[in-house]
Amino acid sequence: MQNSKSRSLLFTTITVVYAMLILFPVFWMWSYAFKSEADMFARPTVWLFTPTLEHFDYMIENGFHHYLINSLIVSAASTVLVVIIGTPAAYAFARYRSMKLRDDLFLFVLATRMAPPVCLVIPYYLLYSKFDLLDTYLGLIIVYLTFNLSFYVWVLSSFCRDLPLELEEAARTEGYSRIGAFVKVLLPLLRSGITATAVLCFIFAWNEFMYAFLLGGQTVKTLPVGIPSLITTQGVRWGEMAIIGMVGTIPVMIVVFFLQKHIVRGLTMGAVKG
Amino acid sequence: MTKISARQSSAAETAPVDETADYYRESPWYPYALIAPTMVTLTVVALLPFLYMGWISLHEARYGQIGDFAGFSNFMTLLGDARFWNSMKVAGLFVAIAVPIEFMLGLVGALVLSQNIRFRNVLVPFLFIPSMMAPIIVGLVWKTMLAGSWGFFSYNILERFGILSGTSVFASPDLALYGLIFVDVWQWTPFMVLTFFAGMQALPASPFRAAQVDGANPVQIFFRLTLPMLAPLLFVIGLLRLIDAFKIYDTIYILTNGGPGITTESPSVLGYKYTFDFWEIGTASALAVVIWIIFFAFCNIFYQIAKRRLNVF
């Protein structure tokens, strides 16, 4: 008994130390948001410092809060769109497995998810400059569908497969139509799956850099795009970058705490159920 | 829970019985009506742009002007460009070093995590954070940690051992790629740990009990039972990481942008430079087509394995 106790303590310690190794660099970067330049560049490293808000003042003065609003608008809008378009498809792929061409269509959906952004950014750039969609909310919302819609359909489909078929049969014998059974009986059961997958879509859009960087521009800049824009000819504004890093990571942390059960499934495209 | 069948691969693999066939016969068009909005959307936002790009790749195209039909000359230009082969080498090295390290550490971590750990539910979310963070922010974290002379890691660890005094890992042609690999390992190992842990939790218990009754030691159990039963899962995750690592752009952009020289120029970074630095749209499109073909092959393998061996999808 004593032996297993100390073993458990040892492994707990290992895990705790590992978690700290992961978190330390993140929080250290956050600290730059409150450090004066003198404290940042000090050698040896300064552990205790007087916090300053000068970087925050600079951000507000230069309208960086618009970046935050842009990020929220684009991420939320693209997520809502994905849920509306993708939910029926996810259900159909899970349920109607003998549908002709099912595997081919499903693979096509996967391929759009896996496509590297650099592949699509070229045609998008040319098309958007033709149709005046560069630097618009709509432009980014559309391009985010490429990876988020396919992701949503795949992962929600794996949630749909967990629903027992008998439920639907029971609803049908109760006199519900096909659509009625889906809306009244299955959707309530899918709620947690839909929420989890949609929130992951939100985070992917929130984190997205390349499309936002190349297809956004002056008026529609998202938070990640703010990072390279702070590398200026007068020098690098580390403190301001750290603020973006902090603001950009906070929602991710919140999500991780509420959704930990579903993240593995999400990041493995439904191949592993967490 | 996932059912990972421990059957040998020699056994006939049959698809699971489809109990929805009756519904399907009821009205064959219904499922198509359900997937139509998604299919139409994906065709418009992904397939058509891709075909357009394929069309561009067969034409002379520079500075946003599409010129005459050029056959495969863009592909010839690409294949004759040393930078293209260099980018493939960079991606190959990156994947060949980073992914195996992440795998080993992931397996070790999953074994540690499956021990009797206190506060596991409190600790697990922390391990998810790096893999959910924006890659550009991960890049920023390590840009500061490994900054020359004042970065926390550079100063407190590397300089202690007299490595790279006053300069950054990312400024060194020999070490920049390894720096990027280190960042990738930092970001993705925790996720591997949690995925393998989830996979181990889902394994059936009876073979393990039987093995213990027969007096197998932990090492034997791991290599004879756990590992073979996890094999399809490992394969699928490996493919996913391979695809992801091949796509890497954001972290490289902020840390090195392909430099010093072209030592860390991944295919994505090169594609970006072809397009927006040199305006060689035709060559860039050819590169994108090549990348996509490679990817499609990977996707297909991923799907087949996951469907047949893991009985998901």
Write the pLDDT tens digit of every residue in B270-287.
999 998 888 888 999 999
pLDDT of the residue at B22: 58
Is the predicted pLDDT of residue A137 greater than 60, yes or no?
yes
Residue A239 has pLDDT above 80, yes or no: yes
For B61, the 3-state DSSP assignment is strand
* Residue B235: Cβ within 10 Å count: 16
- According to DSSP, residue A232 is labeled E
Distance CA A142, CA A212 (A): 12
Residue B91 — very low, low, confident or very high, per pLDDT cuts 50/70/90?
very high
A44 prior amide bond cis, ω within 30: yes
Q: A85, B37 in Cβ contact below 8 A?
A: yes
Cis before B260 (ω within 30):
yes
* Interface size, chain A vs chain B, as Cβ–Cβ contacts under 8 Å: 318
pLDDT digits (tens, 9 = 90+) for B15-52: 455 555 555 566 788 889 999 999 999 999 999 999 99
Look up residue B115 and give its DSSP letter.
S
Nearest to B110 by CA among A268, A18, A259: A18
At B143, the amino acid letter reads: K
> In this predicted structure, what is the pLDDT of residue B20?
58
Residue A233 φ/ψ, nearest 5 degrees: -70, -20
| Cβ of residue A186 closer than 8 Å to a chain B Cβ | no
pLDDT of residue B12: 41
Mean pLDDT of chain B: 85
- Segment A140-169 shows an average pLDDT of 91
Find residues 26-85 of chain B whose CB sits inside 8 Å of chain A. Answer: 28, 30-32, 34-35, 37-39, 41-42, 45-47, 49-50, 52-53, 56, 64
Q: Residue B249 and residue A112: Cβ atoms within 8 Å?
A: no
Question: What's the half-sphere exposure (Cβ side, CA atoms, 13 Å) at B142?
Answer: 28
Q: What distance in Å separates residue A98's CA from the closest CA in chain B?
A: 6
Interval B132-147 mean pLDDT: 92
More confident residue, A208 or B306: A208
Q: Is the pLDDT of residue A88 over 80?
A: yes
At B267, list the tokens.
Answer: 């295919």
Q: How confident is the model at residue A162 (pLDDT cuts 50, 70, 90)?
A: confident
> For chain A, what percent of residues have pLDDT higher than 70?
99
Mutate to test the interface with B, among A32, A36, A98, A213 (most CBs of B within 10 A): A98
pLDDT at B7: 40
Q: Are B73 and B299 in contact (CB under 8 A)?
A: no
**Overall average pLDDT of the A243-259 stretch:** 93
Question: CA–CA separation, B155 vs A205, rounded Å?
Answer: 35
Can you tell me the distance from the alpha carbon of A31 to that of A37, in angstroms, rounded to the nearest whole number? 12
What band does B9 get if pLDDT is binned at 50, 70 and 90?
very low
**Mean pLDDT computed over A92-101:** 87
**B304/A contact by beta carbon, under 8 A:** no
Under the banding of pLDDT at 50, 70 and 90, the label for residue A248 is: very high
pLDDT at B19 (0 to 100): 56
At A172 the pLDDT is 85
- Look over chain A and give the mean of its residue pLDDT values, rounded to a whole number: 89
**Total residue length of chain A:** 274
User: How large a percentage of chain A has pLDDT more than 90?
Assistant: 53
Q: Which of A85, A107, A249 sits opposite B38 (nearest CB)?
A: A85
- Residue B292 is predicted with a pLDDT of 87
Mean local confidence (pLDDT), B106-118: 90
Q: What pTM did the predictor assign? A: 0.90
Strand partners, B69: B59
By the 10 Å C-beta count (0-12 exposed, 13-18 middle, 19+ buried), A44 is classed as: exposed
Secondary structure (DSSP) of A43-66: SSPPSS-----HHHHHHHHTTTHH
Reference B105, options B232, B201, B195; nearest CA is B195
Q: By the CB < 8 Å criterion, does A203 face chain B?
A: yes
**For B43-76, how does the pLDDT look when each residue is reduced to its tens digit (9 = 90+)?**
999 999 999 999 999 998 877 677 788 888 999 9
